[in-house]
Amino acid sequence: MYIWYTKVSNKLNVSDIQFVSRKKMGELLEKKACESRLGAIDDALYAIGGKWKLKIIIALKEGNQRFNELQRALDISARMLSRELKDLELNGFVARKVYTDTPVVIEYELTDYSNSLSEILEALSSWGIRHRKKLIEERS
């Protein structure tokens, strides 16, 4: 038998203690590990998910770009681009550079932190190519 308890505060109440079998203990630990992994995936999808975020990051890999340049390159509405750039900036992937010359120029650039996505982008690209080939072969 194992002792499983939920620690809510520094005090351990007897009512918090459950006696569980080895099998039940394993199930509880598996469930906790699964919830942890799913939570991490949710966090990742929140940061880079959606139709536009990865496309914006890939476009900025070509170099710094102004808002209108990004909008034209991606064929995205101004409102959506503004929202996505703000999210990417909050998550530390994009930096907004303001040049105070006349006229004021604003450029967007990738941060060093955005390089942490390189392996993910490569893996997604490879998987996308394989997936497309599979679908084409199945429909041929």
Count of structural domains within the chain = 2
Contacts of 1 (CB under 8 A, 6+ apart): 19, 20, 21
The CATH number assigned to the domain holding 101 equals 1.10.10.10
CA distance 65 to 48: 19
Residues 83 and 111 in one domain: yes
Residues 43 and 57 in one domain: no
**Domain for residue 60, yes or no?**
yes
**Domain for residue 133, yes or no?**
yes
Host domain of residue 88: 53-139
Per-residue pLDDT of 81-134, as tens digits, reads 999 999 999 999 999 999 998 889 999 999 999 999 999 999 999 999 999 999
pTM of the model: 0.72
Chain centroid to Cα 113, Å, comes to 12
Residues 125 and 66 in one domain: yes
